[in-house]
A = this chain, B = another copy of it.
Amino acid sequence: MRKVGIVGIGQSRFGIRSDASLRELSFEAAKASLDDAGIPLDDVQAMVVSVASDELSYALQPSAQVVDYLGFNPKPSFRVEGACASGSMAVRTGWMTVASGLADLVIVVGAEKMTEVSTAAVTDVLGRAGDFMWEYPFGMTFPGYYALIARAHMAKYGTTEEQLSMVAVKNHHYGALNPYAHMRKEISLDKAMSSFTVADPLKLYDCCLISDGAAAIVLASDKLAGSLSKKPVWISGLGLGTDTISLSDRRDITTLDATVEAARQAYDMAGIGPKDIDVAVVHDCFTIAEIAAYEDLGFCAKGEGGKLIEEKRTYIGGDIPVNVDGGLKSKGHPIGATGVAMAAEIAKQLRGEADPGRQVENARIGLSHNVGGNGQHAAVHVFQVD
Binding site for B on A (CB under 8 A): 1-2, 46, 52-55, 58-61, 63-65, 67-68, 72-83, 85, 89, 92-93, 95-97, 99-102, 125-126, 128-129, 131-132, 238, 240-246, 249, 257-258, 260-261, 265, 372-373, 376-377
Contacts and interface: CB of A to CB of B under 8 A. Distances in A.
Given A60-B53, A61-B376, A242 B76 contact: yes
B82 A79 contact: yes
A370 B342 CA distance: 33
A59 B128 contact: yes
A14 B76 CA distance: 29
Given A64-B377, A96-B93, A99-B101, A59 B129 contact: yes
A60 B128 contact: yes
A172 to B, nearest CB: 27
Contact of A61 (B81, B93, B244, B261): B81
Contacts of A101: 1, 99
Contacts of A80: 78-81, 93
Contact of A82 (B78, B96, B132): B78
Nearest to A74: B261
A100 B95 contact: yes
Contacts of A238: 102
A257 B377 CA distance: 36
Nearest to A72: B242
Contacts of A128: 54, 58-60
Contacts of A265: 76
A264 to B, nearest CB: 9
A99 B97 CA distance: 9
Given A53-B54, A72-B242, A73-B244, A82 B100 contact: no
Contact of A241 (B60, B76, B129): B76
